[in-house]
Homo-oligomer: A and B are copies of this chain.
Amino acid sequence: MRILGIDPGSVATGFGVVDSKAGRLIHIVHGTLRPTPRSSAAERLHYLHQAISEVVRDHAPDAAVVEQVFVSASARSALVLGQARGVALAAVGAGGTAVVEYSASRIKLAVTGNGRAGKAQVQNMVRRLLELDRAPARDAADALAAAICHANAGKIGALTQAARLPAKRSTLRVRRAP
């Protein structure tokens, strides 16, 4: 099973792809998407959509994992985070990839054994679990941690199945000029 983890953010979006084979974790790729702050919001979001679409196309994940948003922040930050998150989800949804969500504490618990682990602890454990030369940057480490969490959860229950839903039947009502 190939899993794509995404940690969307308005400034930087981390992503990471991990294979889970016979109980083993194999690191495929990770990175950080950082649209230039000089471009407009629409251009930054378009860049993010393109970049995530490319990752999905190149690595064809079986499942995508994002962190559940614990909405403690201000409504303003939630709006801005939502914009990046929506774009990431849309890019994943294009391929019909199932999307699974886990709480931040569940992800930290799965990776470090401690649901309240700090950023550095997550980075270090991700490095060790994936046998990387050095710890990934924060956003990418969070994305890889989300993917690892799902790989471990897969051993217990098939959470993915619940996330895959029937094909869309959407309606578009258009009224053209007379």
Interface residues of A (CB under 8 A from B): 26-36, 38-51, 64, 69, 71-87, 89-94, 96-99, 133, 136-137, 140, 163-178
Contact = CB atoms under 8 A, between A and B. Distances in A.
Contact of A43 (B39, B85, B96): B96
B169 A38 contact: yes
Contacts of A99: 40-42
Contacts of A45: 86-87, 89-90, 93
Identical subunits present: 2
A89 B80 CA distance: 12
Given A86-B84, A177-B29, A36 B78 contact: no
Nearest to A72: B75
A78 to B, nearest CB: 4
A128 to B, nearest CB: 15
